[in-house]
Amino acid sequence: MNCFRISLALYTLTIALLTGSALCSAVLFSTTAWAQSSKITILNSGKNKNIAQRKIDLQAEAKLLRIYQLIGKGQNRQALAESELLLKAQPNFQLAQLVHGDLLSSFVRPVNGLGDLPKSTQLAVSTTAAPQTNSPTAAATLNELREESLQRLKALRERPPANALPAQFLALSDKNKHAIAVDASRSRLYLFENSASGIKLVADYYISVGKLGVEKTLEGDQRTPLGVYYITGSLNPTSLVDFYGVGALPINYPNPLDLKRGKTGSGIWLHGTPSEQFSRAPKASDGCVVLANPDLNHIVTSVSARTTPVVIAERLNWVTKASLDAEKTSFNTTLMAWRQAKVQSDVQKFMSFYTVDFSNYGKNLTQWNAIVTSELGKLKGQDIALSNINMMHWSDQSETMIVTFDEVVVGKRTGVTKRQYWTREGKTWKIFFEGVI
């Protein structure tokens, strides 16, 4: 009797998501490994070539997706062979372990749900013993793995619109070689490359956020902050404990907007996973953004400190470049008016661009006024040039524009890099923070 089968109930979502070769090819193409290699040819999903004959080293998530596809087609033997190879490459990939266990079970009995093992069977497909499936710990682990599976599949199915960008990416400068956007609702991080041909999405990765979700407000609240941030450095893995994996990229939380709103906390990083763990549950960190080590390693080797923006949103809003250009042009008029007031050394007009609660690294508006008066007096009408302008737009209960640029007096060889935080007051934009970075 041919006993092996996995009930349609087990991977109903998988089958729905991956039915059709065109869709499967599109989803496979969207994964990191496909984006990273210019030599990869998309394979016809109807051809079931032996994976050992393939010279393409697919990224772990793409391999898992391929296994799901085979299960959806009822090709369990090949799915089992490919899951064995995946676990050889990534033995600590718990979700892959679970799927592999389901496949093994399907050869002796029907499997009716993800992780559907008899109560007497231990939740273990590796050499490490695991809790009984009827224990609270095992039940929680199963739920987390199911949620991880759903998040990976949904993110790969619900792809960003073609040629669209996150609404926060108003303008990247030549200095911004890369940009990052995190969609917490999809447990997904998107990596963009900025070149002469424009901004393009080059990779995306599964991520974990805070145990209690997003919208960090207090130290220790186990939430991931929402906003526009910048990578401030790269921590050498030799200086870190194993918990953080192959490295860490700190971001500038709390930023000036967070401080204005009274938010507390620090030490928010993009970091990897412990050596014994491939990935974590969708909500598993103390507030950091956590990636699998291979994914973090690619990001670490791609991005630069101080110039890489990181947008963390509950849900990203994807818009056309044309709509971003229109908004950028509109705000640029305001920025150039600020520059002109400075060139004219008109203190009163210049100060009208600042809010009453303005701050500059601890200095208030009155102290800033004294600094500006002295600076404009020395400028004496000399022209200034603004270059490498980066504009990021954050919208929640208020509108915030984060603008970074190089400022230099025309004729001089060097200048300073400044960052301003603007807020909309009615129909007018005003600066509530400005500082040299």
Biggest CA pair distance of the chain = 93
Tokens encoding 408 = 């230099």
User: Do 351 and 303 share a structural domain?
Assistant: no
Residue 101 CB: number of other CB atoms within 10 A? 22
Query: 386 or 46: whose pLDDT is higher?
Result: 386
CB 139 within 8 A of CB 119: no
295 — pLDDT class (breaks 50, 70, 90):
very high
Q: What percent of the chain has pLDDT over 70?
A: 81
* CATH code (residue 201): 2.40.440.10
339 and 217 housed in the same domain = no
Instruction: Using a pLDDT cut of 90, give the percent of the chain over it.
Output: 71
Quick one: 337 and 304 in the same domain? no
Residue 3 in any domain: the answer is no
71 plus 39 within the same structural domain: yes
Residue 223 tokens, joined: 């939430």
Residues 271 and 398 in one domain: no
Residues 29 and 18 in one domain: yes
Among 301, 319, 337, the domain-final residue is 319
How far apart CA 211 and CA 388 sit, in angstroms, is 38
Which residues on neighbouring strands pair with residue 399, listed in sequence order? 395
Q: What is the pLDDT of residue 21?
A: 38
What is the rounded average pLDDT of the residues 180-197? 97
pLDDT on residue 336? 98
User: Rounded to two decimals, what is the model's pTM?
Assistant: 0.84
Of residues 324 and 53, more confidence is placed in: 324
Residue corresponding to tokens 């918990």: 243
3-state secondary structure 350-397: HHCCEEEEEEECCECHHHHHHHHHHHHHHHCCCCEEEEEEEEEEEECC
For residue 53, the model assigns a pLDDT of 31
Residues 235-291 pLDDT 10s: 999 999 999 999 999 999 999 999 999 999 999 999 999 999 999 999 999 999 999
- Alpha-carbon distance of 220 to 62, in angstroms, equals 35
Residue 192 placed within a domain? yes
Does 14 score more than 90 pLDDT? no
Predicted local confidence at residue 30, as pLDDT: 39
Q: Which of 68, 112, 105, 73 is nearest to 86 (CA)?
A: 68
Does any domain span residue 2?
no
8 A C-beta contact, residue 59 and residue 40? no
Range of 5-14, 42-51, 138-147 with top mean pLDDT: 138-147
Q: Which domain holds residue 146?
A: 12-157
pLDDT at 118: 58
Q: What are the backbone angles phi and psi of residue 195, rounded to the nearest 5°?
A: -135, -175
Band (pLDDT 50/70/90 cuts) for residue 45 is very low
Whether 272 and 352 share a structural domain? no
Q: Which residue has the tokens 């890369």?
A: 178
Mark whether 143 and 18 lie in a shared domain: yes
Instruction: Tell me how many domains the chain contains.
Output: 3
Asked whether residue 358 falls in the same domain as residue 286, the answer is: no
Are both 290 and 239 inside the same structural domain? yes
Residues 187, 239: one domain? yes
What average pLDDT does the segment 313-328 reach? 96
Q: How far is CA 42 from CA 139, 154, 204, 378, in A?
A: 38, 21, 18, 62
Is residue 5 situated within a structural domain?
A: no
**407: exposed, middle or buried (C-beta count within 10 Å: 0-12, 13-18, 19+)?**
middle
Q: For residues 291 and 205, is the Cβ–Cβ distance under 8 A?
A: yes
Q: Is residue 349 domain-resident?
A: yes
Over 60: is that where the pLDDT of 25 sits?
Answer: no
Average pLDDT of the chain is 85
DSSP 3-state of 181: strand
Count of other CB atoms within 10 angstroms of residue 204: 24
The reply to whether 6 falls in a domain is no
Residues 137 and 220 in one domain: no
